[in-house]
Structure 1
Amino acid sequence: MSGARLRFAATAAPLALALAAGAMALSATPAVAADGPMAQPVRTAQGMVKGTAAEVAGVTVFKGIPFAAAPVGDLRFKPAQPPKAWDGVRDGSKWGDTCIQPKAPTRTIGVNQATDMPDSPAISEDCLNLNVWTPAKTSGEKLPVMVWFYGGAYAEGGGSMPFANGSKLASKGVIVVSMNYRVGPFGFLSQSELTAGSPNGASGNQALSDAIASLEWVKANIAAFGGDPDNVTIFGQSAGACVSAALVGSPVAKGLFNKAISQSGAWAGLTAAKMVTREAAEAQTAAAMEKAGIKNLADLQSLPADEVAAKLGRAQGIIVDGWIVPEDQSITFAEGRQNKVDVLLGSNANEGGSFGFGPPMTAANWKSGAEQRWRDLAEVGLKAYPAETDEQARAVSSRPFTDGIAWFMHRYADDQAKIGKSAYLYQFAHNPPAAEGKPSGGPTHASELAYMFNNLDKPREVPDPSSPEVASRSAEDLKLADQMSSYWVNFAKTGNPNGPGLPTWPKASTLKENEAFLLKANDMSAAGPTMTPAQVELYSALFQRDVATPLGMTDK
């Protein structure tokens, strides 16, 4: 990404923060897509593209549109650069390539949906493309826009994953964009020569630069697809939620969106922690290069693509690079320097329900492991999670993962409310049905996605173990999916998820300290507790010890 892009991002006029007065929220069920497809082809700044009919009548999808130059050769590991123009009419009926990542066709917890589905695209470094689902028939309709960032532990994912098909959201009156960002070391790698050669003195957040480039493409081109470039909502889950939150905290992303959604994750990861510095990430890269016998950046950029991850290791994740992320964002958000946008945030009521690896927990092991788990806060931890029997120990063993995420999302909501923005906080508390005879993970990590996208019939994102076949035949699950997709669309339209026919979702600022809006079936969604006071005390103490004090923050 060039210095010119940085200057644009820093000086762009603020986006409109609400729709015109009198705009109506969606009801829970009606679809508003036009009967016919969009007029073809569509002209973008780089050239013309022709789409195809989507799954829902009246929605047109345009697949595989490049939003940045191919990050290959001397562009490998560098920030996204502007896309190149093309001649003629581009075929938008097929997915663009997925970013380099490992396949997992036999993985026990589920295949990699970006690479192992029947229609999964090819894998290559030339992967910076996006997909647009639009219910508009012509340009100029100024529909709200939702831009999706996928999860996958910074290691996998793609805009083509079936659960994230945007047809049904689009049918409710929004344009949905899904994009590919680089994963693994291609997307998250800091290196001293990269830093020295950067006009911004930074390296390491290549994936964030991809996300920013996709938003710049939306700003420049979405009107041609019937969208409103001044009403853009970013949304993501897990790693994608972290990308979304990091952009809310980034001055480089200012003006590119005006609402944000994070589902089970924020700027520091899934739970609150100090962010890694660029210097630490560079040292990690230097050690990996030395071990692999790689002498310099040129050697890194000439490695065969399939050797990069093997020699450099896993993604380093979002770091404090001094540019896109100028400082640890826990400081940014606490001191009110983040972008002034409305947010919808939350997590699931049993995030760790599908991560039950290793031997069964016992009461003795739970107690003896407390010091390793919480160090000097071991007594506070055991007070928050008491277990006198083996059964109790098994029940509480996955709760810290669940509650650590929930606490972080509570804090994020509080930080946005303190700068005067609307914050809506949820916890997905519905237990999605499993196949007959199969164990249910409960409302585990990723289990809300099929409901939010209103795609109960699609294969599930890892690690959600619920059954598409059972859920898509269940009246209560179908209704909840319709309601949740309407909440998300309403928020994208107006900054308020509420609408006719939906249980009322109060702002986070009106809830008690440990409460969120609990999303449940059978019209039972309502405010309720997500943690006990003892658990809130534990995570507040952990944040003070591990984040606020080391960073010199005066915590709220």
Structure 2
Amino acid sequence: MSDTDLPSAPLNRRGFLGAAAAAGLLGTLSTPAAAKTSAATVISTESGQVTGVQGGLRGVTVYKGVPYADTTAGANRWRPPQPAPSWNGVRAADSWGPACPQPVTDIPADQVPAFGEDCLNLNIWTADSGSGDGRPVLVWLYGGDRALWAGQEIYNGSLLASKGVVVVTPDHRVGPLGGLAHPELTAESAYGGSGNWGIQDVVAALEWVRRNIGAFGGDPDRVTLGGWGQGASIVNILLASRRARGLYHRALLSSGVRYTRDPGLAQGAGRYRDLADAETDGTAFAARLGAADLAGLRALAADDLVTRAAADTAADFGHVLDGYVLPDTYTAVLKACAETDVPVLTGVCKDANGASPGLKLTLDAFQAYARSEFGPLGLADTFLSLYPADSDTTAARQFSAYARDEERVSAFLWATQFKTTAANSSDVYTYFWTRVPPGYDDTNPVIGTDATGAFEGSDVYYLLGYLYNTGRPWTSKDYDIADTTASYVARFAATGDPNGSSLADWPALATDTPQTMELGAGFGTLAVADSDAKLAFLQTYLQSQTTEF
């Protein structure tokens, strides 16, 4: 997309929409060559017929709030997702379905959706329904630590749809309703486990896509499962799982993988508890709620449950190593060569993993960290020589430099495990996101207003590429970057390889060549660490860890 396609920069969302409407641009940008449907087209799904509404770009239709499973209320609470009920007549899929219950502290009221346990719905963006073309499909999972629902503009699939991809964004259970494990739940399950309800929702959404996406112009044999942060951790678990085999054919993980000995896995989105610990946590949580048994838990109002869970600092509803959804540790699955062998595209953001352009850190704290983290390995002096600091300012700068190197090296080491330990033949493409989005976004509570730099999740705007209805003061450069980045994603969804005409070459990972692809501020290869010495140090540090997740 060239600068002439847009009003002169900079423009925020409201300025862009007003100028575009006046110029007659809205609804004409990136028009696909062969759109075969309109919002009035009736689509038949297994549960009934639906019509959609105009998407963000002309020729794109979005179908909102289409059920893929039944309500999770009542007896269905903390059960695997049940089949969606059918309906008569034509359902107008013109509004987001309810978001799954969760706390909304500090989120502006005008950004808070309706909540309800009948929340297993998905949204579909397509520029071609029922033509038989078989377009690639991207199923995208939300991330972050709040605002976990699909009906946000940051997840708008219109641009990718205009590039020939059918985009699906499902809602799935989160928090205590998505992750509670309990001995009674384990006893009543058919597989002898509990927890991971939200991940089972994602599997059900993939199964629905398999059965229904052809009616929306999608190819059920070319499905990419993608997500960021928490969503990417679900993709990572499903790479290790047997539950979704054959339901997706490529994986896209933004800020979602680490080397399986990386200590950061203990705190990050990919952490998990074993089933016994998760059941103990669930039993203690129920007792604090005054619920004597599972029936008492199911009798609680959902709003009360999530509100009290949010205030309970001892509660934990993360992923569970249950032997069913997550069959074993990440390391054990890789060593057993049981990791799903599909092309992978994964990356990290420059100002994540503890790095930040605004980081405040004293020299004393920096040196104390070096002694604590690297001293037991005899590497503290090496660290301080590679990342030298003599003031609070340089300490903060050097810690950020270390954090950026560490997350790139960790992702590279995971990719080598995927290729060598698991003996997979599929290619892996890694990236390092460097573009800093301008201003802040008052339309997407998942990001909020406090994030700075190229923060975790900043790449999501550009991976999906539809900037127009978001609140940042985007420049024409941002639109160009989004168009290029989304083109890589579209190519990867179509072929399992992000490379294509007019795009800078993105080499597949070679285990003997420690490099990655810069995306954002530039497009080209760069080393996974700022020097060979830093790479050697970080490999030694990570590979010497004794805990294998």
Match of 2:472 in 1: 468
1:441 aligned onto 2:452: yes
* Aligned match of 1:131: 123
What amino acid maps onto 2:472 in structure 1?
P
Correspondent of 2:464 among 444, 453, 466: 453
Specify the SS of the correspondent of 1:253.
coil
- 3-state SS of 1:443 partner: coil
Partner of 2:426: 421
From the superposition, tell whether residues 440 and 206 of structure 1 become closer, same or farther in structure 2 (CA, over 3 Å).
closer
- The correspondence of residues 287-306 of structure 1 with structure 2, limited to 5 A, is 287-306=284-303
Verify: 1:245 aligned to 2:236, yes or no.
yes
Shift of 1:201: 0.5
- Counterpart among 170, 174, 184 of residue 165 in structure 2: 174
Cα distance in 1 between the residues matched to 2:175 and 2:400: 27
**CA drift at 1:544:** 4.1
Query: Which amino acid counterpart does residue 446 of structure 1 have in structure 2?
Result: G
With over 3 angstroms needed to count, the CA separation of the structure-2 counterparts of 1:124 and 1:38, relative to structure 1, is closer
- Alignment counterpart, residue 523 of structure 2, candidates 525, 543, 552: 525
For the residue of structure 1 that corresponds to 2:265, the secondary structure is: coil
Distance 1:289 1:35, change over 3 A: closer
* 2:224–2:249 Cα contact (<8 Å) kept: yes
Matches for 1:340-355 after TM superposition, within 5 Å = 340-351=341-352
Cα distance change of structure 1 residues 342 and 540 upon mapping to structure 2, 3 Å threshold: farther
Q: Deviations over 1:324-351 (max 9, x none)?
A: 1110122212442111111101111121
- SS of aligned partner of 2:179: coil
Correspondence 1:219 to 2:210: yes
Query: Taking structure 1 as reference, are residues 71 and 544 closer, same or farther at Cα in structure 2, changes over 3 Å only?
Result: farther
Q: What's the secondary structure of 1:251's corresponding residue?
A: coil
Distance 1:430 1:357, change over 3 A: closer
Pairing of 1:80-91 with structure 2 (within 5 A)? 80-91=81-92
The 1:317–1:405 alpha-carbon spacing in structure 2 relative to 1, beyond 3 Å, is: farther
Secondary structure, counterpart of 1:234 in structure 2: strand
- The Cα offsets for residues 423-476 of structure 1, whole Å up to 9 and x where unpaired, read as 1111112233337xx9983222111111112123343xxxxxxx722x2xx232
Q: TM-score, normalised by structure 2?
A: 0.83
Change in CA separation of 1:316 and 1:439 when aligned onto 2, cut-off 3 Å: closer
Tell me the secondary structure at the aligned position of residue 80 of structure 2: coil
The CA deviation at 1:367 is: 1.0
2:201 is the counterpart of 1:210: yes
Aligned residues of 1:67 and 1:83 also touching (Cα < 8 A): yes
Q: Give the TM-score of the pair, scaled to structure 1.
A: 0.82
CA contact (8 A) 1:34 1:135 kept: yes
1:219-298 to 2 correspondence within 5 Å? 219-266=210-257, 271-273=264-266, 275-298=272-295
For the structure 1 residues 247 and 384, does the alpha-carbon distance in structure 2 shift closer, same or farther, using more than 3 Å as the test? farther
Report the Cα distance in structure 2 between the residues aligned to 1:87 and 1:101, rounded to whole angstroms. Answer: 31
Amino acid of the structure 2 residue aligned with 1:236: G
User: Which residue is equivalent to 1:554?
Assistant: none
CA distance in 2, matches of 1:171, 1:526: 25
SS at match of 1:507: coil
Q: Note closer, same or farther for the CA distance 1:450–1:183 as it changes in structure 2 (3 Å cut).
A: same
CA offset at residue 150 of structure 1?
0.5
**Residues 354 and 403 in structure 2, CA contact (< 8 A), matched pair in contact too:** no
Cα distance in 1 for partners of 2:83, 2:402 equals: 43
Query: After the TM superposition, which residues 3-18 of structure 1 pair with which residues of structure 2 at under 5 Å, given as runs?
Result: none
1:188 deviates by 1.2
Relative to structure 1, the CA distance from residue 311 to residue 355 in structure 2 (aligned partners, 3 Å threshold; closer, same or farther) is farther
Alignment of 1:475-494 (within 5 A): 475-494=476-495
Aligned length: 495
SS for the counterpart of 2:144 is coil
- Residue 448 of structure 1 aligns to a residue whose secondary structure is helix
The aligned amino acid for 1:277 is: D
Q: In the aligned structure 2, how far is the partner of 1:296 from the partner of 1:439?
A: 41
**Using the alignment, how far apart are the partners of 1:30 and 1:87 within structure 2?**
34
Corresponding residue of 1:5: none
Q: Paired residue for 1:21?
A: none
Aligned CA distance change for structure 1 residues 483 and 30 (closer, same or farther; 3 Å) = farther
- Matched with 2:18 is none
Q: CA offsets, 1:114-173, max 9 Å, x none?
A: x752xx5311111110001111142422111100000023x5411111111001110000
Specify the alignment match of 1:430 in structure 2.
435
Aligned residues of 2:31 and 2:57 also touching (Cα < 8 A): no
Q: Percent identity?
A: 33
8 Å CA contact retained: 1:352, 1:444 = no
Amino acid in the other structure paired with 1:146: L
Does the 8 A contact of 1:104 with 1:116 survive in 2? no
Change (3 A) 1:89 1:281: same
Distance 2:243 2:540 in 1: 30
Q: Per the alignment, in what secondary structure is the counterpart of residue 364 of structure 2?
A: helix
Unaligned runs of at least 5 residues, structure 2: 1-29, 441-448
In 2, Cα distance between the equivalents of 1:322 and 1:238?
23
